[in-house]
Amino acid sequence: MKAENNISESQISYIKGIDGLRAAAVLMVLAYHLKLPFARSGLLGVTIFFVISGFLITRILIKEIENTNTVNLKNFWVKRIRRLLPAILTMIIALIFASAAFDRVLFTKACEDLWSAVFCYNNWRQIFNQVSYFENAGAPSPLTHCWSLAIEAQFYLLYPVLLLVFTRFKKKKVWFAGITIVLAAASLGLMWFLFDPAKDPSRVYYGTDTRAFSLLFGGLLAQIEDLIGIEKKLPGKLRDTIGIMSFISLLGMVAVVDGYSSFLYKGGQGIASFLAVLMILAVQDNTGFLNKFFSLYPLIWIGERSYGIYLWHYPIILMLGSGRKTAWWLIIAEVLLTGMCAALSYHFIETPIRHGAIGRNIEIMKRQPKTSRERKKQVRTILRNAKVAFGALALGAGAMLCVVYVPRETALGNIDDMKKNAENAYKLTSQKTAKLKEGEDGSSETGTKDGKKDLSEEELLAKLKLLLIGDSIALDVTDAYYETFANSISDTEIGRNAVESIDIYDSYVQENGWDGDGVIFALGSNGPLYDTLPALREKMGTEKPLFLVTVKAPHEEWENSNNQEMNKFAEETAHTYVIDWYKASEGQKDWFDEDGTHLLPEGAKAYRDCIKQAVLKVYEN
């Protein structure tokens, strides 16, 4: 994600440590997508990229305004396109061919996101994505990560225009710095205000308006340096100390804070952006430790190729490991293949095009040769470019033919049956709820009171009045659940978020008069738990048993954190028990559909049996 100058290289000093910062950022993202345990918030690497981009772009624009009193918008935008687009197109063409041959589910998802990645509106496509839950099952789209490139492209489109408006206020640059502060504060506040754990966080996470503050933080640093030269006025040792502490703090956030924590939306991203600003300030001191560390050759090498690494790593991880937690040898293979593709892209695509190879070749082909040597050079150039153009067109046409003619597939093999199951489950639950309202099943006498010792296991389970609140995974188990828990209720819904369980519980207690023996919490596949568990426990009181079904969702980043939270909460809270579906289903591929999450009939019975054993253990004892 290395910015290119709009003016000569000699006019803007190269900050070597910035490439090292890019390396740190892309390694955080890579570790996060590899599901390494020390990178729980590795996506903060994207935040660092945003700050760096905002800083460098603003620095370039300010220098151009000082030299020319304006901004050549056409030249600026052409260079941004030249920097971003060729590498994206190369990656997408390779992805289309590879996924069409080896993974039709990823191929299908890549085709859906193709144009949004090329034309840099992927973030808004994800916000307004209308793809059905079942079609979206399994691994994410291999182009999902293009959301951040879309935000940068949109920033490049709008920010120079805004800056250009203020070129006439050259002597009042402080005005624009003030406006940048206001815009950054508004963006950060919008993220805080719009975040609702009960809803899909895509609007907040992917929105240009809610993520612009990181870019603006970087831009503000460039403006302050231009106004007061803060990078020169602060003592080097002080800047270096602050930078080191900021880097350590950022690493701590990456390791400790969960990637979907409410904290990140309630100021955490702002803190990370500010820490990145302090690190950029520090690496500009050539004598400081932080600059020397980030100027190490391996980090510089990675940083220079960070754009390619970012582009290639996610499709490769999904192609080789399906985005799941994998063996160490496969992780090494994914990293090496990512590095190789990024290096090839950097050497043969990004660097030549960024340095004007296309323009130089066009100039040679248009030139009138004066000598035989010039004529031979022109012929060689024409032949070489004809081969390159023909090859590029052939590959592009082949990729488009794949998009048009290769059959699409989804991660779920029997969507129609699953939709029918959802309809049947809704009808059964509606009938149960209606009886509950009429008082037929809503008496205060519970199934565990009188005569418990005289009941068989089947009779005890049939008499219990449990409320299961679940998503589409538990929906697959509806029939098997009612076979065992005849007097209980299973309220399930496709795509249900964990936070919704609070309102659902309230509706059964307050509106339907439910006063049963316990609650089975079978959520957590569709998003983080946030503060659901303590809130639900408080609603239920301290005595009624609460069962927490662990999550089996290998493609989702929150699988591990949700399961850890459930186990910890059960250990620390009375009358709260774990139904460990994650452990019980380990290695049982025959229980699951192709997405590794939704259940086949055999898996549905196993899920029911897992609940049955945990419930019996509690109520018999």
H helical segments located in 439-543: 457-463, 472-475, 478-484, 501-506, 532-540
- 240, 491, 593, 595: which is the annotated catalytic residue? 595
What are the backbone angles phi and psi of residue 467, rounded to the nearest 5°?
-115, 110
Is 593 catalytic? The answer is: no
The Cα–Cα gap between 404 and 401 comes to: 5
Question: What is the distance, to the nearest Å, from the Cα of residue 419 to the centroid of all Cα atoms in its chain?
Answer: 28
Is 313 catalytic? The answer is: no
Q: Please state whether 192 falls in left (phi above 0), alpha (psi between -120 and 50) or beta.
A: alpha
The Cα–Cα gap between 128 and 133 comes to: 14
Q: Which one, of 528, 477, 473, lies nearest residue 500 by Cα?
A: 528
Residue 491 contacts residue 469 (beta carbons within 8 Å):
yes
**Axis-axis angle for helices 357-366, 372-405 (nearest 10):** 130
The Cα–Cα gap between 37 and 258 comes to: 11
- Going 52 to 191 to 38 to 152, the CA torsion angle's sign is negative
Place of tokens 């049963």: 516
The Cα–Cα gap between 610 and 604 comes to: 10
- 53, 187, 472, 490: which is the annotated catalytic residue? 472
Residue 403 contacts residue 96 (beta carbons within 8 Å):
yes
The Cα–Cα gap between 148 and 146 comes to: 5
- 33, 313, 555, 598: which is the annotated catalytic residue? 598
Strand partners, 578: 548
Contacts of residue 223, Cβ cutoff 8 Å, sequence gap at least 6: 58, 62, 173, 176, 177, 180
The Cα–Cα gap between 312 and 309 comes to: 5
Place of tokens 């009624």: 544
- E strand map for 359-429: none
Is 598 catalytic? The answer is: yes
Residue 155 structure tokens: 């920033």
Residue 334 structure tokens: 């994914």
Three-state secondary structure string covering 121-148 = CHHHHHHCCCCCCCCCCCCCCCCHHHHH
The CA distances from residue 399 to 89, 139, 340, 393, 407, in Å, are: 11, 22, 22, 10, 14
Residue 487 contacts residue 441 (beta carbons within 8 Å):
yes
What are the backbone angles phi and psi of residue 221, rounded to the nearest 5°?
-60, -45
Residues annotated as catalytic are: 472, 595, 598
